[in-house]
Amino acid sequence: MKPQLKTIVKHLQTVGSISNLEAITQYNIMSLSRRINDLEELGYKFNKVLKAHPVTRQRYKRYHLISEANNAA
């Protein structure tokens, strides 16, 4: 598994969810949606929740880990 994918999985196992802003600022992962897609291809399952910032009303997606892949390396 690629290092960015391992980083995302570890974050999800610890925190439970991640947003694009967290991926960029904490891990320098610029395309979270693509990495989530990569994880889905490996068998991970996610709940994707569309949210809005309470002040700016800027919309964003938060990914919640539902289940991990059975054969994750």
> What pLDDT, on the 0 to 100 scale, is given for residue 71?
57
> What pLDDT, on the 0 to 100 scale, is given for residue 70?
76
Q: Residue 67 and residue 24: Cα distance in Å, rounded? A: 23
pTM of the model: 0.86
Angle CA 42–35–63, to nearest 5 = 95
Residue 68, token pair as written in the block: 């991990």
> In tens digits, what is the pLDDT along the chain, a chain of 73 residues?
899 999 999 999 999 999 999 999 999 999 999 999 999 999 999 999 999 999 999 999 999 999 988 754 4
Q: 3-67 has which fold?
A: Arc Repressor Mutant, subunit A (1.10.10)
Question: How many Cβ atoms from other residues are within 10 Å of residue 17's Cβ?
Answer: 14
Domain ranges of the chain: 3-67
The angle that helices 20-27 and 32-41 make with each other, rounded to 10 degrees, is 100
> What pLDDT, on the 0 to 100 scale, is given for residue 73?
46
Q: Residue 54 and residue 40: Cα distance in Å, rounded? A: 29
